[in-house]
Amino acid sequence: MNRSSDRWLAYFLILPVVAAVLAFVLGPTWDVATLSLTQFVMGQERGFGTLVNFEALWADPVFGTVVVNTAIWILGGTVFCVLTGLAVGAYLAIDSKVTTALRALILLPWVLPDVVTAMAWKWMLHGQVGVIGDAFTRVGLSDQPISFLGDPDLVMWMLVIVLVWRKMPLVALILCAAIRSVPAEQIEAARMDGANAFQRFRHVILPNISFSLTAVTVISMIWITAEFTLPWVMTGGGPANSSQIMSTYIYQQSFQFFNWGVGSAMSVVNLVFLMAVVGLYLYINRRSWAAGGSK
């Protein structure tokens, strides 16, 4: 076959994927974008080409809290998820019988359904009957029961901890695989040159896994942004909106208040926020991203 027919065959082969992306990604995104510029409540369209939904958002006293909580949720969740994932992944990369077993066991939190995870943690963290608060009291860390999910100052960070517990295993396994693929001779050469364990990790392993690290960070950020079940089942956005994040508030506006226009406007803000953070992150890490992509 000549080069021209090869090109047409390539186009033909990617056609189903392009069609799927258009139908399931770009189509709904466009729909949400236009809906955000439409006053649409209770199933009735009341005019297109208006910024009334965005104005309602800015005027909403809850929205500021939602933005701050969402920043904690996405940025805190991603940072802790990747950092603990990296630490656990580095440990799992060591060859031993224990780590071999742990590589399989660590996926347990990942395979549990979201609702089961949320309900189990909700009860473990409960102020009156939770085992975690009870353990704190028994060892003398607290003189009274702690309501981890009922305390407005603690609740967002508790959600982040549960999120990390749930999402970190896959991050750890991906990074473990990346670390194990680092050429042994490079590590050995660094060791012969007198590099200690930290220096070998910093100057040999990290540069080698930078592409995987960047990819897994971006993917984690997207996962966490889309996560709804954990916060909704555990707190419902409470107490007093102190764990209200974009995904729960979009749900509330759209499906509880039937206010689709405002829900869509919030989705657009969420998308722009995510694109900005991911874009900035990829720009900062453009070298490792480009190097990995060219391999």
Q: Do 239 and 152 touch, CB atoms closer than 8 A?
A: yes
Nearest 5°: phi and psi at 44? Answer: -115, 130
Contact 68, 243 (CB under 8 A): no
Smallest separation (angstroms) from another protein to the CB of 53: 9
When asked if residue 150 is in the footprint of another protein (CB under 8 A), the reply is yes
Q: Is residue 149 close enough to count as binding another protein by CB under 8 A?
A: yes
Q: Provide, rounded to whole angstroms, the least separation between the CB of residue 46 and another protein.
A: 6
| Number of C-beta neighbours around residue 210 at 10 A | 17
Q: Is 255 in the site for another protein (CB under 8 A)?
A: yes
**Applying CB under 8 A, does 151 fall inside the site for another protein?**
yes
C-beta of residue 156 within 8 angstroms of C-beta of residue 73: yes
Which tokens hold the place of 238?
A: 């409470």
Alpha-carbon distance of 53 to 140, in angstroms, equals 50
Position 267 contacts another protein (CB under 8 A): no
Torsion over CA: 250, 147, 112, 89 (sign): positive
Whether the bond into 109 is cis, omega within 30 of 0: no
Binding to another protein by residue 1, rule CB under 8 A? no
The residue within the footprint of another protein, chosen from 126, 166, 167, 200 (CB under 8 A), is 126
The neighbour count for residue 281, using CB atoms within 10 Å, is 16
We find the least distance from the C-beta atom of residue 224 to another protein, in angstroms, to be 22
292 forms part of the interface with another protein (CB under 8 A): no
Rounded to an integer, what distance in angstroms lies between the CA atom of residue 43 and that of residue 211?
46
Residue 4 or residue 44: which is nearer to another protein going by CB? Answer: 44
> What DSSP assignment string belongs to 202-246?
IIIIHHHHHHHHHHHHHHHHHHHHH--HHHHHHHTT-STTTT--H
Of these, 33, 50, 56, 187, which contacts another protein (CB under 8 A)? 56
Q: Are strands 38-41 and 44-48 parallel, antiparallel or unpaired?
A: antiparallel
Q: Is 235 in the site for another protein (CB under 8 A)?
A: yes
Provide the 8-state DSSP code for 41.
Answer: E
Q: Which of 139, 144, 197, 283 binds another protein (CB under 8 A)?
A: 144
User: What CA–CA distance (Å, rounded) separates 144 from 160?
Assistant: 23
**What is the nearest approach in angstroms of another protein to the Cβ of residue 194?**
54
Token pair for 52: 């009334």
Nearer to another protein by Cβ, of 150 and 207: the residue is 150
For another protein, the binding residue among 27, 30, 46, 181 (CB under 8 A) is 46
Listed ranges 12-20, 37-45, 180-188, 275-283: which one lies at the site for another protein (CB under 8 A): 37-45
Please say which residue, 207 or 239, places its beta carbon nearer to another protein: 239
Determine if 239 is a binding residue for another protein (CB under 8 A).
Answer: yes
Please say which residue, 214 or 243, places its beta carbon nearer to another protein: 243
User: Could you tell me which residues come within 8 angstroms of residue 61 by beta carbon, excluding any fewer than 6 positions away?
Assistant: none
Pick from 88, 262, 265, 266: which binds another protein (CB under 8 A)? 262
> Interface residues with another protein (CB under 8 A)?
39, 41-43, 46, 56, 59-62, 122, 126-129, 144-145, 147, 149-152, 235-241, 251-252, 254-259, 262
